Amino acid sequence: MSDTLYDEIPSLDLADFNNPDRKKKFVADLGAAYTHIGFVAIRNHYLSDELSEKLYRVIKAFFALPDAVKKKYEIPGLAGQRGYISKGKEHAKGRNTGDLKEFYHVGQTVTDNDPIKNEYPENVWPTELPEFKETALEVYRQLERTGIQMLRAIALYLDLPENYFDAKVRHGNSILRPIHYFPIEDPDAVPPDAVRAAEHGDINLITLLMGASADGLQVLRRDGQWIPITALPEQLVVNVGDMLERLTNKKLKSTIHRVVNPPRHLMNRPRYSIPFFMHPRSEMDLSSLPSCVSASHPKLWPDITAGEFLNQRLKEIGLKK
Which domains are assigned to the chain?
Answer: 3-316 (2.60.120.330)
C-alpha distances (whole Å) from 163 to each of 62, 90, 148 are 38, 34, 9
SS3 273: strand
Distance CA 194, CA 153 (A): 38
Q: What is the pLDDT of residues 279-297, one digit of tens each?
A: 999 999 999 999 999 999 9
Distance CA 109, CA 178 (A): 17
Contact 313, 93 (CB under 8 A): yes
pLDDT at position 214: 54
pLDDT at position 75: 92
Comparing 87-96, 171-180, 188-197, 288-297, which segment has the lowest mean pLDDT?
A: 87-96
Is the pLDDT assigned to residue 91 strictly greater than 70? no
Distance CA 107, CA 88 (A): 21
What angle, rounded to 10 degrees, do the helices at 49-63 and 131-157 form? Answer: 130
Q: Which pTM value belongs to this model?
A: 0.92
C-alpha distances (whole Å) from 20 to each of 154, 188, 321 are 16, 56, 49
Q: How many helices (H) and strands (E) does the chain have?
A: 8, 13
Percentage with pLDDT > 90 across the chain = 66
With 0-12 / 13-18 / 19 or more C-beta atoms within 10 angstroms meaning exposed / middle / buried, residue 146 is buried
Q: What is the pLDDT of residues 56-70, one digit of tens each?
A: 999 999 999 999 999
3-state secondary structure 234-260: CCEEEEECHHHHHHCCCCCCCCCEEEC
Is the pLDDT assigned to residue 4 strictly greater than 60? no
Q: What is the pLDDT of residues 157-187, one digit of tens each?
A: 999 999 999 999 999 999 999 999 888 877 7
